[in-house]
Amino acid sequence: MNDPVVIADPKVISGLDNYLNMPAAQQPSWPDAAAVKSVREELATLPPLVFAGEVDILRTRLAAAASGKAFLLQGGDCAETFADATADRIRSRVKTLLQMAVVLTYGASLPVIKMGRMAGQFAKPRSSDTETRGDVTLPAYRGDIVNGYDFTEQARTPDPKRLLKAYNTSASTLNLIRAFTQGGFADLRSVHEWNRGFANNPANERYLSLAQEIDRAIKFMAACGADFNELRTTEFYVSHEGLLMDYERPLTRIDSRTGNPYITSGHFIWVGERTRQMDHAHIDYLSRVRNPIGVKLGPTTQVQDVIELIEKLDPEREPGRLTFITRMGAGKIRNELPKLVEAVRDSDANPLWVTDPMHGNGITTKNGYKSRRFDDVMDEVQGFFEVHRAAGTFPGGVHVELTGDDVTECLGGSEQIDEASLESRYESLCDPRLNHMQSLELAFLVAEQLAKR
Ligand code: PEP
Ligand code: MN
């Protein structure tokens, strides 16, 4: 299955470069075209980060989730940064996702597909090309893969060498993830260990008592002579928004087994709410690669949009190919989602439906922070389950921005983070993330919803 893919020759990949004739939203204005070309050429010679065989397995896992036999847990930073790609930070994100997955698996008796917004989530769409502070206007921060966050002309000027740094940082992040999840760290018999180092709080206590139950169940099965191979390692997939064409195109390779193109910068690639126009570059490009594709759907999405996306991205109606990630907002999901879900249910398509309860619930606090209320996040998740229950369709996953650290970025949760506490540990350069405890609380809520589905 780990057959290495050969380097793409644009002449061989028919239609892959069609996107060049289309508008591509949210691309940086690189100051030096020759420098970008030379970086693209270098990227095209570097090894793939993921393999076509893994991507194919993921597609079958997502197909199971689309038909209600598994559940997708997708989470990580809004924007990864080079500075935070340290062993400690990566470990705590992986541990948080593993803990959430245990809560979901045990609570809902369903296999959980674990997927990070990790090892490639470096490019960000922005609402404006520029940012003005006082009388200075500079290019907006577009993520570490494009420019630096500091508000200086030097940092904000797009620098194509950052594409290579993003590749290298993704490679080292993915290497550590693979070591953690294949090398014994993710062994279910260490379910207690994953909690070590996290502060004591109500969600942790609940987690520890669940871990004890799991321990007892495992010991019972061991006493019965059961074999534990499945418990020793876990599959873990990586995903990011496929935004920056100068990164995704050179990392697209032809699979030597099948002759098909795969984006090898991550297993799963999604298109954001701002770049999913039907006649633009991103949708065209992703329609031509074999990876499972996600599309974000905001509250103004019409039935016609969804039907067109299905036709373009999944003309063969291939199980696991297409995921819709809805991000409606807590106040809108119960009104806006039913018509989409019902129209798709009544068609011949069977996409995976996932809730992103983060991006429709942004607020700016009085003291100037971009934040989200934990209650709104929970309410959107609940609304998502209600809509699917009413329609008789499968609520197949959750997509969240989270970190394993004890940051104070989202309001509320049982720690009751208030506006003043945002000042103590707000670290995100982009959107606010759930902290470790809020992530566990969310997992318990989702498990309850799944159990009564
Ligand atoms: C994101 O996932 O960080 C993002 C920008 O989402 P959306 O495209 O849904 O706004
Ligand atoms: Mn975000």
Q: Is the CB of 284 under 6 A from ligand 1?
A: no
Give residue 244 CA to ligand 1 midpoint distance, Å: 14
Residue 165 lies in a domain: no
Q: What are the backbone angles phi and psi of residue 240, rounded to the nearest 5°?
A: -160, 170
Ligand 1 close to Cβ of residue 327 (< 6 A): yes
DSSP three-state, residue 123: coil
**Ligand nearest to the backbone CA of 327:** 1
CA–centroid distance, residue 431 to ligand 2 (Å): 5
Distance in Å, CA 3 to ligand 1 centroid:
33
As separate numbers, helices (DSSP H) first and strands (DSSP E) second, the chain gives 13, 14
- Tell me if 134 is assigned to some domain: no
Ligand 1 atom with minimal separation from the 79 CA: 3
Q: Answer yes or no: is 83 within a domain.
A: yes
Q: Identify the nearest ligand to the CA of 126 by its number.
A: 1
Answer yes or no: is the C-beta of 276 below 6 A from any ligand 1 atom.
no
CB of 273 closer than 6 angstroms to any ligand 1 atom: yes
What CATH number is given to the structural domain containing 108? 3.20.20.70
Domain membership of residue 238 as a residue range: 40-122+173-451
Question: Total domain count for the chain?
Answer: 1
> Residue 11 has what pLDDT?
45
Give the pLDDT of residue 228: 72
**Per-position DSSP letters for 147-210, written without gaps between them:** --SSSSHHHHS--THHHHHHHHHHHHHHHHHHHHHHSSTT-GGGTTGGGTTSPP-HHHHHHHHH
Report if residue 348 sits inside a domain: yes
What residue owns the CA closest to ligand 1's atom 8?
272
Expressed in angstroms and rounded, the spacing between residue 122 Cα and the centre of ligand 1 is 12
E-state strands within 265-406: 268-271, 293-297, 322-326, 352-355, 362-364, 370-372, 397-401
pLDDT of residue 10: 46
DSSP string over 414-444? TTTB-TGGGGTS---SSS--B-HHHHHHHHH
Q: Identify the DSSP state of 8.
A: P
Distance in angstroms (rounded) separating the CA atoms of residues 63 and 352:
7
Give residues with Cβ within 8 angstroms of 121, minimum separation 6: 76, 77, 78, 79, 80, 239, 240, 241
Its pTM stands at 0.95
DSSP H helices in 46-86: 52-66
pLDDT at 2: 44
Residues of the chain with confidence (pLDDT) below 70: 1-14
Task: Please report, for residues 19, 272, 430, the alpha-carbon distance to residue 410 in angstroms, rounded to integers and kept in the order given.
Answer: 37, 22, 13
**How distant is the alpha carbon of residue 407 from its chain centre?**
19
Report yes or no on 20 lying in a domain.
no
- The pLDDT assigned to 1 comes to 42
Alpha-carbon span 243 to 26, nearest angstrom:
7
- Tell me the C-alpha distance between 5 and 52, whole Å: 7
Cα–ligand 1 centroid distance for 240 (angstroms): 10
CB-based neighbours (< 5 A) of ligand 2, an ion: 78, 431
363 DSSP β-pair partners: 371
Specify the ligand 1 atom closest to the Cα of 274: 8
Distance between CA atoms of residues 252 and 168, nearest Å:
16
Mutate to test the pocket of ligand 1, among 81, 239, 274 (most ligand atoms within 8 A of CB): 274
Q: How far is CA 396 from CA 36, 106, 324, 351, in A?
A: 39, 16, 10, 10
d(CA 285, CA 280): 9
Residues 6+ apart with CB under 8 A from 54: 1, 2, 237, 267
**Is 388 near ligand 1, meaning CB less than 6 Å away?**
no
User: How deeply is 259 buried, as exposed, middle or buried, from its count of CB atoms within 10 A (0-12, 13-18, 19+)?
Assistant: exposed
Q: Please tell me the distance between residue 265's alpha carbon and the centre of ligand 2 in angstroms.
A: 19
The ligand 1 atom nearest the CA atom of 271: 8
Say if CB 305 and CB 277 are below 8 A apart: no
- Closest atom, ligand 1, to C-alpha of 78: 3
Specify the residue with its C-alpha closest to ligand 1, atom 3: 78
- Name the closest-CA residue to atom 1, ligand 1: 78
| The ligand 1 atom nearest the CA atom of 431 | 3
Distance 272 CA to ligand 1 centre (A): 5
- CA-nearest of 363, 448, 436, 452 to 75 is 436
At 190 the pLDDT is: 80
**Measured from the CB, is residue 68 less than 6 Å from ligand 1?**
no
Strands 237-241 and 268-271: parallel
Give domain status of residue 6, yes or no. no
Decide if 35 is inside a domain.
Answer: no
CA dist 3 and 288 (Å) reads: 21
pLDDT value at position 219? 83
Residue 443: name the closest of 99, 133, 193, 116 by CA. Answer: 99
In a domain, residue 355? The reply is yes
359 lines ligand 1 (CB under 6 A): yes
- CA of 132 from ligand 2 middle (Å) equals 21
* Strands 261-263 and 252-254, bridge-based pairing: antiparallel
| pLDDT tens-place string over residues 23-81 | 999 999 999 999 999 999 999 999 999 999 999 999 999 999 999 999 999 999 999 99
